Amino acid sequence: MALTHAREVAYWIVLLLGWLWLGEQGMHLGWSWASGVLAVALWWSVRLFCRGSAWALGCAPWVMGLLGLFTALGAFGLKSQIAQPWAHGTLLCLAVVWGLWIALIETRSQVSTFQLGPLAWHPVLAAGLLALGLLWPAEELLTHLMVLFLLALCVGVLYAHEHLAASGTTACRGQRAGLETLLAPSAMGLMMGTLWLGNAWCASLSWSNEQMVGAHLALMAGLPTLTALLTHGAKSWQASPTAQTCVSLSLIVVGALMLLGNSAFHGVLAMLLPSLAWAVHCSRQRIPLGPAHRRSPWLTRSFALLLGPVLLVWVGAASPTQGPWAMQSALALMGVLAAGQLVFLGWRKQGLHLAFSAT
């Protein structure tokens, strides 16, 4: 059981580092390419494309260790190539390997973090370790060494868990649900992927890079833990998983409406509410879907890619000329889609109610 908890902490470290560290390196090495978000977008694309695939379901345990080792070695070697013209290409190759690794980790997971107990402390501990490694050291070299140390630690933990659990692995087969389950992760991913662009709300608050990183860590890792803790004892939430989906969608809609305001308060809410939607999404109960409600895995992946990495690249490419409007329009699109999904879910519920009444 201890190794299971350690694996969840390692997973969150690998996930959060993918957003933060790859994004920072992309800003330094590839700013001319979609404002530096290309590495994160590529990592995100590979992760979504390969998660739940036949390859991820059937590969041997040693593949987990090998991909982790290549990721750590790539992060180590990138430091010596920063001044070279091919440094950005090396970063993109690293993003692909890292994406394969995180896709394999998520596919082979046997349990959700938020099902391990009433307090999902794993993302909070992972965020704390990252804050210690990324924000505390005064020298860039120490920060890089901390990143390498955390990656090496995660490689060992994840491989050990995969090796010991290989005989009885019950792998996650990926999402087959509809658009309503993709919007909250996509909105959160857009905010994490554009962290280093200095979004409108961050600029209006005059936050430093350290403060922005700390805030994003708190929103992505701390808020889901707090939300899961608060809703764990609420029987009504446990009895109605669909209500959690509707709450998540509603938060995205209201967050998009906050973009109409011009004050710093509206900017904070525009960042907080989609993050809260992501937190509700993480802590929701998983329920089996009937055949009529399932979607093709290729259709689900296509929607996820369009609303996530593709939209992120568009935001990065449009930001130099459009400024904050690029990100605001992306979140507005999320709000429109979420509103449409709320209408659809209400219509479907009404249709089912009428069908049952007729019988």
Give the model's pLDDT for residue 149: 96
CA angle 351, 356, 359 (to 5 degrees): 130
Containing 339, the helix (H) or strand (E) segment is helix 325-358
Give residue 116's pLDDT.
82
Q: What per-residue string of b and e applies to 58-82 under the rule 16 or more CB within 10 Å gives b?
A: ebebebbbbbbbbbbbbbeebeeee
For the chain of 359 residues, list the mean pLDDT of each consecutive stretch of 10. Answer: 91 97 91 88 97 90 95 92 87 97 92 83 95 82 92 96 70 57 94 80 68 91 91 60 88 94 85 93 66 64 94 94 90 96 84 53
pLDDT, position 134: 86
Q: Where are the domains of the chain?
A: 1-174, 175-359
pLDDT of res. 212: 87
CATH number, domain 175-359: 1.20.1250.20
The pTM is what?
0.90
Residue 152 CA: distances (Å) to CA of 13, 78, 208, 330: 11, 15, 29, 36
Would you call 228 helix, strand, or coil by DSSP?
A: helix
Please state, in angstroms and as integers, the Cα–Cα distance from residue 27 to each residue in 32, 222, 249, 257, following that order.
9, 25, 31, 29
Q: Which two tokens stand for residue 261?
A: 């305001």
